[in-house]
Structure 1
Amino acid sequence: MTTYGFLGLGIMGGPMAANLVRAGFDVTVWNRNPAKCAPLVALGARQASSPAEVCAACDITIAMLADPAAAREVCFGANGVLEGIGGGRGYIDMSTVDDETSTAIGAAVTARGGRFLEAPVSGTKKPAEDGTLIILAAGDQSLFTDAGPAFAALGKKCLHLGEVGQGARMKLVVNMIMGQMMTALGEGMALGRNCGLDGGQLLEVLDAGAMANPMFKGKGQMLLSGEFPTSFPLKHMQKDLRLAVELGDRLGQPLHGAATANESFKRARAAGHADEDFAAVFRVLE
């Protein structure tokens, strides 16, 4: 049986690792804060003391980390992935990072004799819990095939997009669109309320027409209630918008809407909403 490691047990990684354990996989976990390993150990996972220990012990190691800095530190840092990878073992980074970070990690893992796949996901806390994420993989085809059973436990759809970097780029484009949709909904709700419209009726109209979508339906209720329990942290959406704008800069691609949305999310972070759900951008739009 293929053994799996899992690095990073945050709002996404925790439920993803739990789904692997519940599906019957042999899983070893690590987290920067070791206390977060306890619920996984209670489910039947083993706990390791470092990323290097996980990678050395497991056939395939998966990482789900907060941002490019965390992804680089876990890979290149002391007792990191590179100290344990090799011998054809696989490393799958499911974090949302820029394509340059993903390419650098992939090259380093390959140079050590490992196999690398980037596989960021589209989906937030609930899809992570339900195992219905969309997996955007790119890189080593053999590792993609070998990890298929694990991906089936984590997601409802899995694509292989080509060479390393394409998965990161796809994820940034998807989240860039989502961030702009969220600011559009927030501005629309604010304008509607300020001119005396009923917010619930506005959502009803949107849901009945061509603009109907699950995000408007779910996040719209947050806007009505004024409560923003975290499914996808606002600080992470702002990070993804920033990375998308940086990608556009490198390509000479104008991204007026994304840049404007990024400024709104930056304002919301500065106003103290970084750890709330990304729908809390509404606080600076209303």
Structure 2
Amino acid sequence: MNGTDPASPGHAVPVVAVLGTGTMGDAMGRNIASAGLGLRVWNRNRAVAEPLAEVGAVVCDTEAEACRGADIVLTALANERVVAEVMDEARDGLGDDTVWVQVCTVSPDGSRRLGDQAAGLGVSYVEAPVLGTKEPAVAGTLTILAASPQADARDRVRPVLDAVGTRTVWLDEVGRPSSLKLAYNAWVLTTVEGIAESLALAEALGVDPHLLIDVIDGSGLNSAYVQSKGPKMIDDDLDVPSFPLEAAAKDADLITDTARAAGLHLGIAEVVRERLRLAADAGLGRADVAATYRASRRTAA
């Protein structure tokens, strides 16, 4: 272990175990530490978690070790399968009063399955997917969509949610936050693909694509996302991701599969899913989601 362990008896503030210290988990962990909460961290690749020792985190070798002595466990992992596996490995470190905060984007049914797993582990469950990517995660300005079957969990996790975000929207039952997150991400991915196609069309027609971004600015269709992603597409500044394309492709699968299960065929979302698959197959998975702009839109002659 590294850092100073705040999980000693009589410690007044909550101790939080963050399982998964990738881009989002690292940022959340740093904000949790900055808020004065105790912090224990684990990542499958320990070297990825080590930098959090500089903010006082206890870096642990196993999931169970990280959870031992923690009041709240926050999972910031890749997908439902990984989350379920990690929490099963953590079971020996979980206490009777542990609250599990699950922030990974999963399907509504997936979140309900994880809630059932929490019940089997004997811990409280808070479904808490977040709206925002790397920059708001670092700034601590995420929006959290939350629900819990345990009435007292809301107050218990408030210090953690306040540390990582500026707004928490509580919904009435597990599964609804994930449903709202998928609807939100459908708009995000539609916006990214729309920008990419508009820029590709401008360029193909001999129009300076910078001019397109300029005329959108100040119009009713303008947004911070257009002004952020558009120039990065034009300048090909896409290799350092705010939202990795491979994660966006996973979310696109969740969106379309969940829609189909609900009896919907989302035409735009299906096309976006295919565009992201093509970009991922072209080796762009680790780039920013806006790297979908690099995927060819040329038709055969």
* Superposed pair shares fold, TM > 0.5: yes
Could you tell me which of 137, 142, 167 is aligned with 2:152?
Answer: 142
Mapped pair 1:56 → 2:68: yes
Whole-Å separation in 1 of the counterparts to 2:23 and 2:151: 28
Whole-Å separation in 1 of the counterparts to 2:220 and 2:94: 48
Whole-Å separation in 2 of the counterparts to 1:71 and 1:85: 15
Could you tell me which of 269, 275, 285 is aligned with 1:258?
Answer: 269
Mapped pair 1:249 → 2:297: no
Mapped pair 1:96 → 2:108: no
SS of 2:82's partner is: helix
Larger radius of gyration: 2
Deviation at 1:7, TM superposition (A): 0.6
Mapped pair 1:129 → 2:138: yes
Whole-Å separation in 2 of the counterparts to 1:285 and 1:145: 49
Give 1:189-268 correspondences, 5 Å limit.
189-228=199-238, 229-268=240-279
Whole-Å separation in 2 of the counterparts to 1:179 and 1:196: 26
- The residue aligned with 2:82 is 70
Mapped pair 1:38 → 2:58: no
Asked if 1 retains the 8 angstrom alpha-carbon contact of 2:69 and 2:95, the reply is: no
Whole-Å separation in 2 of the counterparts to 1:101 and 1:85: 21
Deviation at 1:159, TM superposition (A): 0.7
Give 1:144-159 correspondences, 5 Å limit.
144-159=154-169
SS of 1:163's partner is: coil
Whole-Å separation in 1 of the counterparts to 2:288 and 2:64: 32
Whole-Å separation in 1 of the counterparts to 2:61 and 2:295: 42
Asked if 2 retains the 8 angstrom alpha-carbon contact of 1:115 and 1:143, the reply is: yes
Whole-Å separation in 1 of the counterparts to 2:228 and 2:245: 16
Which stretch shows the higher mean deviation, 164-173 or 233-242? 164-173
- The residue aligned with 2:127 is 118
Deviations 1:87-140, CA, capped at 9 Å, x for gaps? 121000111111222111111212332100110111000001000111111113
Could you tell me which of 116, 121, 145 is aligned with 1:107?
Answer: 116
Give the RMSD, CA atoms, in angstroms.
Answer: 1.3
Deviations 1:230-249, CA, capped at 9 Å, x for gaps? 11000000100100111011
Q: TM-score, normalised by structure 2?
A: 0.91
Could you tell me which of 6, 13, 25 is aligned with 1:13?
Answer: 25
Q: TM-score, normalised by structure 1?
A: 0.95
Which letter does structure 2 place at the counterpart of 1:178?
V
- The residue aligned with 2:183 is 173
Deviation at 1:51, TM superposition (A): 1.8
Which letter does structure 2 place at the counterpart of 1:283?
R
Which stretch shows the higher mean deviation, 257-266 or 82-91? 82-91
Deviation at 1:285, TM superposition (A): 4.5
Which letter does structure 2 place at the counterpart of 1:10?
G
Whole-Å separation in 1 of the counterparts to 2:222 and 2:201: 19
Which letter does structure 1 place at the counterpart of 2:23?
I
Asked if 1 retains the 8 angstrom alpha-carbon contact of 2:18 and 2:41, the reply is: yes
Name stretches of at least 5 consecutive residues in structure 2 with no aligned partner: 1-12
Whole-Å separation in 2 of the counterparts to 1:194 and 1:141: 56
SS of 2:81's partner is: helix
Deviation at 1:149, TM superposition (A): 1.6
SS of 1:212's partner is: coil
Taking only the aligned residue pairs, the percentage that are identical comes to: 31
Deviation at 1:142, TM superposition (A): 1.9
